[in-house]
Structure 1
Amino acid sequence: SIGKLIHLRYLDLSETDIKPLPNSITKLQNLQTLELSRCWSLSRLPADIFKKLTNLRSLSLDDVGADSFFLPSGLGQLTSLHKLTFLGVQSDKETAKLSDLKNLNNLRGSLEILFISEINDPIHEAKEANLGSKRGLK
């Protein structure tokens, strides 16, 4: 099981046919980089992934199955996160929100934000996210 690799810091599953990411990945407490780009079949991440992988600094999600893929709630806990390439936003309480970016002040590079369903107050969400203060974001 991948969960036994507790000292693993870098995991690249890009271009694989992985569907749900296994729950055992949450045991990788030292993981700093998770590459999931071009995982077109990826349907979900474990619900508690952001509570467990607090050392995560880079999360690459380029070209995932955007229409059906959402990050679970708790994204805002990853205050060391430098790289996040995709955020699908919807009104579901179980998924990450735009406002979860509020405390992620170390973000750099490009971030694609896709509004998949209507959210109640998009202007309020955007203000809460405080994107203007994230100087490293493009």
Structure 2
Amino acid sequence: MRTREICFRNPNVCGGMDDKIDDVCELMKERRLNILCVNGTKRKGNGGAIKHRSRRRCRGVNFIISERLSECINGYESVNLRLLSLQVKTELMLIFILGVYTPDMFKPFEEREEFWVDVRDILRKCDRNERIVMLADFSA
């Protein structure tokens, strides 16, 4: 795909996605968004990228990808319920997108520390030629 602009957003979709997915996809079309990272989706499953209008389920963090950009996805990796990476290859660049949903302060210290170790480890896997985009909910 040849493009000069890819639009990213990280909205707060309060209370889960099941009853809002159609509205969110319509909003993506209206605002010409290519990738949406939604956190706190409360969807069941192993994690993964949702193509526009599909119903693949996961909890924690998820991507919704426009139809236009879906053909540029090189792959994704669900590290855990709070970390999801996505590799996008366009004609002009490689983009590594990391969806992040941080544990809140009520979680044990060890769990929070382990989370940041996972973030560091996955960012170290990035190729030097990739642009890194982190879409995150740091409300914790």
TM-score if structure 1 supplies the norm length?
0.31
TM-score if structure 2 supplies the norm length?
0.31
Higher strand share: 2
